Chain A
Amino acid sequence: MNDVDIKIKEIDEKIKKIKDFMNSSGIDLSGEIESLNQKKNELIKSLNPKSPWEIVQIARQKSRPNYEDYINGIIDSFIEFHGDRSFRDDAAIVGGIGFIDKFPVTFISHAKGKNIEENVKRNFGSPHPEGYRKALRLMKQAEKFKRPVVCFIDTSGAYCGVGAEERGQGEAIARNLLEMSDLKTPIISVVIGEGGSGGALALGVADRVFMLENAIYSVISPEGCASILLKDSGRANEAANYLKLTSRDLLELKVIDGIIKEPSGGAHNDAELTAKNVKSVLIDALNELTKMDVNDLVEKRYDKIRSIGVFLE
């Protein structure tokens, strides 16, 4: 622990003492607590140059590189495939095949648009069940032809709507989790922007999970969390601190395997350089994973998923 960590811990203890005192005496000292929290946040900031809330803003930047930038920057001879063979083609997920360096891969990504027309077409990157079913179809195809699967995650969440429920949003996500857990080919996932809850995880069960430095990955949006637990969606800023949704936090919690560096200020400042960074991480991972025996690979994937969680026994 460094000095700042120790200071933060001291503040936490102080806050706890004040809260206990408040409970026993009934005297309102919430002002005290607030100023201590402020102090604490400043200390956290000094450790990490950007606050979680600032990172949330970067992850949601309209000009942040999207699926298209990465396809152009990383994949050679990309061919897009469409449809779930059951209901329709969901443009909120893009999938196809191509080369990353010497490796033929199946590439699947949430697709956020960069302008309003494209976002309307792509439903702002929020898939319906048929999007997840298209993804699964392409993954099963990759397994058949022994191609590694590369998934990019960039969604505020699976779509919440009548059609989505009627066609089984829950079932579609669940099916992906189940099938991805023992798909007999390497899977690599990269959170490039927003990783919103179950709709993100449905492309995120993988042998290696990476996050771009300023991407976020969360069980619920900070706004949602604030409105449910803090009863005020305006306190999203605060909720973002609690949720531990940044790449650093999630590496520490062993939810992800690595962080991919972004150009200073964020990926939007240099999409080409960001894609280059992502590509080199992918090539390393592909080199490693394609050498493994596929049964070992699947077993290791199971152990990895299995080990996530913190509890007392």
Chain B
Amino acid sequence: MWKDLFVQRKYATLKVTKKNDFIKDENVSTDNIDVDMFTKCPSCGEILINMDLDKNLKVCLKCNHHFRIGSKERIDITFDKDSIEYFDTNMKSLNPLGFPGYSEKLKSLSKSLGINEAVVTGRGKIEGIDVCFGVMEPNFIMGSMGSVVGEKLSRMFERAIEMKLPVIVFCASGGARMQEGMLSLSQMAKVSAAVKKHSNKGLLYISVITDPTTGGVTASFASLGDIIIAEPKATIGFAGRRVIEQTIKQKLPLEFQTSEFMLEHGFIDMIADRNKMKETLHNILKIHMGVKGNE
């Protein structure tokens, strides 16, 4: 019995750094592994091969966690290839309040992300059906809405009125952009007014809410779609979770302010997985055009 305890077992030692502690195979040396090949799912911890993850539209193959994606990827997976015409690509933010650090932030972000602002607008096709669109960029100052985001979206709605086209907006935003003060807050009214004008013409507006959509964007165009669709488990809310917890001095349950919570409380029409989104949008558009089946 005691003897067993002292039996020398054979162990393989692994050189595992904290960043890539996913290497389990003892025959693989960690030195030659390209860390950029793998991503750890923040929800279930599964180690995913990036190629597989990309093929699955950045959705975890194990737990269906929807990773945040940028505007470029969103456009690629939603609209028909080569169908896109972009609007107002040269519009840029200024620093109208002289807010410290803002100009520098704008400059470095447009350089690193290759886009000028937190929304990309344009016109494109979904399975051959023409729509105008806005896709927010969650990586650009948290997708926050300043003058440019408000102006680009409003112009896009106005162009959709001229062209008599439906609008689809993919929302992802932390809300109004603090660095532009009241000018940012006013954009909520501006875009909402444009939504109303578009709506008055009998045109369809679909709002697609993705993670995260909060604050001034929830309190304006994100909540104003004729049809509102959300990706699974996206954070959707008005006030920030921490702010509420501080106000009520209680911890909030995990499911608070998620897509599922919003569906239950009647504020969105449906939840659609990313790999079904294009099909869902296409089906809705077809019914609105009175096109049945594959005509």
Bound-complex Cα distance A171 to B93 (A): 28
In the complex, A168 Cα to B92 Cα: how many Å?
33
B96–A310 CB distance below 8 A: yes
**Which residue numbers of A lie inside 8 Å of B, CB to CB?**
12, 158, 160-162, 164-171, 173-175, 177-182, 197-198, 201-202, 204-205, 217-220, 225, 228-229, 242-245, 250, 253, 255, 302, 305-306, 308-313
Instruction: Name the residue on A nearest B117 (C-beta).
Output: A311
A-B contact pairs, 25 of them (CB 8 A): A161-B247, A165-B256, A170-B222, A170-B238, A173-B220, A173-B238, A177-B192, A179-B196, A197-B176, A202-B219, A204-B189, A217-B182, A218-B181, A219-B177, A219-B178, A219-B180, A220-B176, A245-B181, A245-B182, A302-B197, A308-B189, A309-B187, A310-B96, A312-B92, A313-B92
Q: Which residues of B contact A201 (CB under 8 A)?
A: 185-186, 188-189
Question: Please, how many angstroms separate the alpha-carbon atoms of A219 and B224 in the complex?
Answer: 21
* Smallest CB separation, A188 vs chain B (Å): 15
Tell me if A174 and B182 are in contact (CB < 8 A): no
Q: For A158, A171, A228, which residue has the most chain B Cβ atoms within 10 angstroms?
A: A171
With an 8 A cutoff between CB atoms, is B151 at the interface?
yes
Q: Nearest 7 A-B pairs (CB), nearest first? A: A170-B218, A309-B147, A181-B193, A160-B239, A177-B192, A310-B96, A170-B238
- B interface residue count range (under 10 / 10 to 19 / 20 to 34 / 35 or more): 35 or more
The prevalent SS among residues of A at the interface is helix
Question: Is B257's CB within 8 Å of the partner chain A?
Answer: yes
Residue B35 CB within 8 A of the other chain = no
Please tell me if the beta carbons of B237 and A178 are within 8 angstroms of each other in the complex: no
12 more CB-based (< 8 A) A-B contacts, given A170-B267, A182-B196, A243-B97: A161-B248, A162-B244, A162-B248, A174-B223, A178-B196, A198-B238, A219-B216, A242-B98, A253-B181, A311-B147, A312-B93, A313-B92
Contacts of A178 in B (CB 8 A): 192-193, 195-196, 224
- Cross-chain contact of B193 among A202, A245, A306, A313 (Cβ < 8 A): A306
B78 CB to nearest chain A CB (Å): 24
B: residues with CB less than 8 A from A are 88, 90-94, 96-100, 147-148, 150-151, 154, 176-190, 192-197, 200, 215-216, 218-224, 236-240, 243-244, 247-248, 252, 256-257, 265-267
Complex CA gap A277/B92 in Å reads 41
| Residue of B148, B222, B238 contacting most chain A CB atoms (<10 Å) | B238
Does A306 contact B96, Cβ atoms closer than 8 Å? no
- Give the chain B neighbours of A228 by CB distance below 8 A: 178
Residues of B within 8 A of A175 (CB): 223-224
A202 to B189: give the CA distance in the assembly, Å: 9
A296 to B45, CA, bound (A): 59
Contact between chains at A310 and B147 (CB < 8 Å): yes
Complex interface: chain B residues within 8 A of A179 (CB): 196
Given A162-B248, A165-B257, A220-B178: A312 touches B94 (CB 8 Å cut-off) = yes
